[in-house]
Amino acid sequence: MAPEANVPATGKAEAMHTIQAPSSATETPHVPLVDISLMETEVSASPLPLRAGSPFTITAVIQNNSDFLAHDVPLVIYISAKREEIGYQPFAQLLTVTLPATQAVPVKVPVDWNFAGGEHKLWMQVNRLPESWQVRAPALPESNISDNVVLQDLMIDPFDAYTSDLCSGRVDVGIGPSDVLPEPDRQRVLVRVHNLGNRAVYNLPVVVLGNQLGGIAYTPVIPPCGSTVEVYVEVDRPFVQGESLTVQVNPGDWMGELPEDNVENNQVTVAAGLAPDMTVLPGGGLADYDFGIGSPDIESPELWIVLVTVHNLGTRDASMVPIRIENEAGRKITDAVPLVQGNGLGVAAFRVGYLWTRGGTLTFTVNPEDAEGSYPESNRGNNVATFTLP
């Protein structure tokens, strides 16, 4: 469940820190060991109950047990659904904090994110980062990091749509030809969605379809009575000159679609083009899937649990990507990463008590060719990584 190696910090309070390498003419200064802790009982969310579509705040009380001031201590916050779906966007933020000597400091992190309702997982780590993150915010020397991580369940209530008496009593979202702007140079389509009804709507799918082309995005909350939002829909191959694109909002055949009084304005067809500096590869498009994993992408935040980040250099989102975990004795488990985004990543936590041997080595294989539900992939050279258990 750890974010990707080049973490796209999505919060507003991100703070970066760079350490200059010492010159050859000077000695490396001595950096004393810190002693920092983060307890589950000291992490909370408010206001309760948490509601889908509504912002909330995570408060973490971080204790500095050292006798000196600790500058630029890295803190990672990651919130993801226990069961992710295509289009789901986790919340990730990396920031640094300064901790006075022998004091506990409350850190408040605003979470202004478009979560759906359901069970979510909050993962926080202070001064304990994956190896690949050290360039972004180096951890301070510390002898004991077992008390630096918290895994916590978050329950988010389903979206509670509100209504307004300022417009007629109906449910109606719509798009028109002027609301669709293809952007071939960026391989995406801008769609403006209108809410003409008297009820707020949330998390509606916006689908773009073409000849062997597709993409999907989800709306944030759209207030009632004429409000609009804009969403970018990334598609899985470049546009072909003169190609017809069909754009739909809240498709009628979509599982869980919002019942509407008027569906005549939910679909439009527009012409697209190919930017002069883009070409279509032989065979019909870009590589759909190219999964990768490395040892720095694997963490063990607590006993019997591993957090795994899987990268996808391909262009298409993939759901339930199989992953095989095997120990040195040949014991293995096969599970799946709920979502690995195109040109992005996917994160999942796995219980591996069945394979656990202190100091033993686990081998992780993402998208094994012989696994059920395996995705076609031209490059499998980066699909295997090892991890030594603590």
pLDDT of residue 382: 93
Q: Indicate if the alpha-carbon torsion angle 317, 320, 322, 326 is positive or negative.
A: positive
* pLDDT, greater one: 345 or 265: 265
Q: Is the pLDDT of residue 216 over 60?
A: yes
3-state helix, strand and coil shares in percent for the chain, rounded to the nearest 5: 5, 45, 50
Percent of the chain with pLDDT over 90: 35
Both 248 and 321 in one domain: the answer is no
Can you tell me the mean pLDDT for 227-234?
Answer: 88
pLDDT of residue 281: 36
* pLDDT, greater one: 54 or 287: 54
Q: Which of 62-71, 197-206, 299-308 has the highest mean pLDDT?
A: 62-71
167 located within any domain: no
Question: Using CA atoms, how far apart are residues 288 and 343, in angstroms rounded to an integer?
Answer: 10
Q: CB-side exposure of 367: number of CA atoms within 13 Å?
A: 24
Q: Is the pLDDT of residue 342 over 50?
A: yes
Among 220, 239, 271, the domain boundary falls at: 271
pLDDT band, residue 377 (cuts 50/70/90): confident
Burial group, residue 61, by CB count within 10 angstroms (0-12, 13-18, 19+)? middle
Percent of the chain with pLDDT over 70: 85
Both 249 and 140 in one domain: the answer is no
pLDDT of residue 61: 96
4 located within any domain: no
Among 123, 157, 191, the domain boundary falls at: 157
| Interacting residues of 25 by C-beta distance below 8 A, sequence separation 6+ | none
Q: Indicate if the alpha-carbon torsion angle 108, 114, 120, 123 is positive or negative.
A: negative
Can you tell me the mean pLDDT for 365-381?
Answer: 87
pLDDT of residue 17: 40
Question: Using CA atoms, how far apart are residues 244 and 222, in angstroms rounded to an integer?
Answer: 28
**Tally of domains in the chain:** 3
Please name which of 346, 343, 327, 333 lies closest in space to residue 387, comparing C-alpha atoms.
327
In tens, the pLDDT along 150-189 reads 999 999 888 777 777 777 778 899 998 888 888 877 888 8
Both 121 and 210 in one domain: the answer is no
pLDDT of residue 23: 47
Q: Is 353 helix (H, G, I), strand (E, B) or coil?
A: helix
Residue 23 in tokens = 């010159």
CA distances from 71 to 68, 74, 215 (A): 10, 9, 44
Q: Residue 282: is the preceding peptide bond cis (ω within 30°)?
A: no
DSSP string, 271-290: E----TT--PPTTTSS-S--
Both 111 and 221 in one domain: the answer is no
pLDDT band, residue 240 (cuts 50/70/90): low
9 located within any domain: no
Both 241 and 302 in one domain: the answer is no
* pLDDT, greater one: 10 or 127: 127
Both 88 and 148 in one domain: the answer is yes
In tens, the pLDDT along 261-271 reads 788 899 998 87
Q: Residue 106: is the preceding peptide bond cis (ω within 30°)?
A: no
Q: Give me the domain span that covers residue 342.
A: 291-388
pLDDT band, residue 133 (cuts 50/70/90): confident
Burial group, residue 52, by CB count within 10 angstroms (0-12, 13-18, 19+)? middle
Both 133 and 40 in one domain: the answer is yes
Q: Average model confidence (pLDDT) for the chain? A: 81
Cβ–Cβ < 8 Å for 341, 354 = no
CA distances from 87 to 81, 82, 340 (A): 12, 14, 10
pLDDT of residue 202: 81
User: In this structure, what CATH number is given to the domain that contains residue 340?
Assistant: 2.60.40.10
298 located within any domain: yes
| Interacting residues of 41 by C-beta distance below 8 A, sequence separation 6+ | none
Q: Is the pLDDT of residue 208 over 50?
A: yes
pLDDT band, residue 19 (cuts 50/70/90): very low
Among 96, 126, 157, the domain boundary falls at: 157
